[in-house]
Structure 1
Amino acid sequence: MSGELLGESRGKIIGTRIVELLETSPKIETTDQSTGKLLDIDMQDISTARSVWRSPDTFYAEGIGVVTSTSGEVAMYTGTGMGKGSLWSPETLFHGILLFRSSTPQWSRLNGIVAVVEYTVDAEGNSHSRIWEWKGRP
């Protein structure tokens, strides 16, 4: 199903807030800042996601992010997916898709592909992301 590893990063949750009280759960916004590599290029990433809890241990999330290289190149992305965790702990396991767009030569290869992401957060708020290109069926 997934193909080439596009990138990996490690970071930290730098902000969390409640943005809305829904009928059955809160909508929570979380911001993450990380560093790593994307297409073998050193990068920094900042992303914000809004999560809605569907059950005591399952949530749906949508987010946006901006990736910059050390030489100033920029790529942006949107994402969506499902996760497991607890409303009372930062520990999370999330799987989703990312859609990138970039006008820079370094990351223009990301335009038009679907990327699969695995995102984890430990009890201290440390994050780890791995991103693959979705290859689908041969």
Structure 2
Amino acid sequence: MLGERIGEGRGRVTTQRVLPSLGGGPKMETSFQSSGSLLGVADTETGTYVAVVRPDGSLFGEGQGITMSRDGDVLSWVGQGVGRLQKGGAVSYRGAVYCQTTSPKWAALNSLAVLFEFEVDSDGNTRGEFFEWK
């Protein structure tokens, strides 16, 4: 069951590169940086994901990232999601990330699946919302 919203972030795509597809659909790596909050703690996030276009036109992505608070708390995450291309080159993803941290502020995330909605508009602006999965 989808729980309460536990975080949000807004940012920008910083780099993209095309990767060899080795028999699959087109593959692209995307990195982004954002700022927002997680469990009420202001943060900055840097992440990278690789997305592959599947035969039906949908996207499958896998990624990893690091989230840091202004006080020096650090959290790493890995995740997967599915997405769709939108008008003008925008992309919309839904998926889950799994976190690891020693920070007491974010320790509860070590045992949660964190669901996300992640949007990239045609100008490379990103918007993410994060929810606990109960």
Letter in 2 for 1:109: A
What are the within-5 Å matches in structure 2 for residues 25-104 of structure 1?
25-55=25-55, 57-85=57-85, 89=89, 91-104=90-103
Q: Which runs of 5+ in 1 are unaligned?
A: none
Runs of 4+ with >4 A deviation? none
Query: Where do 5+ consecutive residues of structure 2 fail to align?
Result: none
- Give aligned pairs, total: 133
Residue identity (%): 32
**Cα-Cα RMSD:** 1.4
Cα distance between partner residues in 2 of 1:120 and 1:28:
16
Name the amino acid aligned to 1:65.
G
Matched residue type, 1:130 = E
Q: TM-score, normalised by structure 2?
A: 0.94
Aligned residue for 2:71, secondary structure, equals coil
Q: CA deviation at 1:55?
A: 3.4
The separation in 2 between residues aligned to 1:119 and 1:19, in whole angstroms, is 22
**Deviation of the 1:128 alpha carbon:** 0.3
